Amino acid sequence: MIVKDKVFVVTGGGNGIGRDVVLALVRKGARVAAIDLNEAGLAETVALAGGLGDRISVHVVNITDRKKVEALPDAVVKAHGAVDGLVNVAGIIHRFAKINDLSFDEIEKVMNVNFTGVLNMSKTFLPHLLARPEGHIATVSSMGGFVPVPGQTAYGASKAAVKLLTEGLHSELLDTKVRVTLIFPGAIGTNIALNSGAMTKEQAAAAAGSAEASKFKTTPSPVAADQIVAGIAKNAYHVYVGSDSKLMGRLTRLMPKRAAKMIYLQMKSLLP
């Protein structure tokens, strides 16, 4: 898809990868409707865009609220005149715990944001994308959506659901002008644990400086965003972000049990 002069809707635009995708898109000449629950975070995104900030509109919306989401297309069209692409980035993790130790409320919250939110956005905007000369849906799953990560099993299940939803949309839209891209980030340098409410500021700071954290190489969020935007431009089917995601993607296809064991051995020290 040609990114320049297109209008994109980006969820999670107030922080992390979502913010960096917004900034990457406007640098490429696009206009962006940035969606997030965090009004202050959205304002900071616009400020970080500098002279390109006038290419961004901000919309404070909970993507799990279907009625609020259904009102979004009119707001985006009012701000930008059209909508050509949707980038589903918003997502949360839960606290690092086994399924047996998580409450149903914690599990449902993750499923609602990560899966139902993506479904709400994709289904609501799809008719508008189908009406454009070309359209695009790009959705962020996770390396945890294709290889199990102990302590984040419910999160992984939500991202596996996103994977099949997005791949199904790709197949259903093959005879249309709407292309679909699925993104698998590995470990990315963001504050997702803090923003998800999975850790306090003190816990996040301690975890970032721990010996366990130092074992895992992370991809900077702006680098991840650039790869996502490049994938959209190429109409890529899958985008693996980070050497960890690329490696585990290959290994999971060849030796799934061994791949799962490798992740377990790396992560078991973090299990409570």
Which ranges in the chain belong to alpha helices (H)? Answer: 16-27, 39-48, 66-70, 72-80, 104-111, 117-130, 153-172, 192-195, 201-208, 221-233, 243-254, 256-267
Given a contact cutoff of 8 angstroms between Cβ atoms, the answer to whether 129 and 77 are in contact is: no
- How many residues are there in the chain? 272
The amino acid occupying position 201 is K
According to DSSP, residue 217 is labeled: -
Is 237 one of the catalytic residues?
no
The encoded tokens of residue 94 equal 């839960």
Cα 34 to Cα 23, 140, 252, distances in angstroms = 10, 16, 34
Helices 104-111 and 153-172, packing angle to 10 deg: 30
- Distance, CA of 133 to CA of 129 (rounded, Å): 8
CA distance 36 to 210: 30
Q: Say if CB 121 and CB 43 are below 8 A apart.
A: no
Which residue out of 155, 237, 240, 264 is catalytically annotated? 155
How many helices (H) and strands (E) the chain has is answered by 12, 9
Q: Which residues are catalytic?
A: 155
